[in-house]
Amino acid sequence: MKKFCLTILTIIMLFSFSSCNMFNLGFITGKRRGPTAYNTDYTKKYESTLNAMFDNNWTVKSAEEKYDEGEEACACGYPGINPHTYLVWTIEYRDGDGEPKTFVLNNLMPISDQIESHVKSYISDYYKENFYDLYTKDFPLASSSEVFCSFALFSSNEDKSKANNTREIYSNKLETPEGTLCLSKLTPANVFEMCPVYLSVYVYFSGHPDEKQNFEENAMKQIEAMTESMNKFTSNKLTASIGMGYDKDIRLYTGNIYHFWAFIQGKQVFLDFDELVFETMVFDSYKSMY
C-alpha cells in the first residue's frame, strides 16, 4: 500500500513538473494559449461610482467586444501577452457647462486610470483649441510644441514611498462613489479647483527668425496675454507651466535656452524653473485633495 501511494505521488509530481515545463516552454517558444475573455461588466461593477461620476445622468450609447492579438514571447524573457477579448462601453453625459461629452470605458484598465486619462485629454484639448491655437497662430511653431495636462504625482518634500502611497490612495478613491470625480460638474474653468492637475504649454519655434529680439519680445507679449486670458477664465485658479524657446540649439536673445511662466492656483511663481521644484509645489498645493 505504501509503495502504491509513493507511485501515485511520483506520477502526480512528474505530471506537475511536465505541465509546468510545457507551460514555460510555451512562453519560450512563443506558443500561446487561446484568447482570454474579459467579461466583467464594469457598468454593473462600478454602477454606484458611475452614478456619482455623472450625477445619476448617463447613458450607455454602445457596448462592444474587442479583440487584441496580444504579443508573442521574446527571447529576452518577456513572457508575451495572450490574445484576448474585452468589453468597451461608450457613455454619454453632460459636463458642468451642460455640454454633451463622451466617456469611453473598458474592462481592462483600472477605472481610476480611465478617469484620469479622460480628464487629461478633455482639458488639454480644450485649452489647445481655445487659447493656444488662438494666441500662437502666427508663430512659426515647431512640431515639438504641445499642450498637455497632468495629475500631480509627487512631492520632493516627502519620503518617496510616502508620496507614492499618497498618490495611490487618491487613485483608489477615484474608484469609489465617495471619492470619485464628478465629471458632470467638471468644466475647463473649474478643473484646477476640482482635481490635482496642472497644464503644460510648450511653445517651440522653428528656424532662426530675422530681427530675433523683436520677434521674441512680441512672442512673449502674446504668450503673456494668453496666460492672462487663461487665468481670468479660471477665476484666477490657473495651475500651469508655460515655456517658450526654439526646437534646436538656439538661445533666446536673453541668453537663456527657454523662458518660463509658472502659475499655481492663479498666482505667478517666480523660480529658476525646475520641473521637479514646480511639480513639488503643485503637489503640495493640492495636499487637501490627497
| Phi, psi (rounded to 5 degrees) for 218 | -65, -40
Looking at the DSSP bridge assignments, the partners of residue 240 are: 199, 263
**Residue 13: inside a domain:** no
pTM of the model: 0.83
Residue 70 region by backbone torsions, left for phi larger than 0, else alpha for psi between -120 and 50, else beta: left
The per-residue pLDDT for range 202-253, each reduced to its tens digit, is 999 998 888 999 999 999 999 999 999 999 999 999 999 999 999 988 999 9
pLDDT single digits (tens) 88-109: 999 999 999 999 999 999 999 9
Cα–Cα distance between 199 and 56 in angstroms, integer? Answer: 29
Range of the domain at 89: 33-108
CA distance to 28, 29, 109, 151, per residue, from 78 (Å):
9, 11, 20, 30
Q: How many domains does the chain have?
A: 2
Whether 268 and 125 share a structural domain = yes
Which of these three, 108, 126, 152, is where a domain ends?
108
**Helix 111-127 crosses helix 160-174 at what angle (to 10 degrees)?**
90
Query: Which of 108, 142, 167 is the last residue in one of the domains?
Result: 108
Is 125 contained in some domain? yes
Could you tell me if residue 245 is inside a domain?
yes
Same structural domain, 56 and 163:
no
Residue 76: Cβ within 10 Å count? 5
Last-in-domain residue among 58, 86, 108: 108
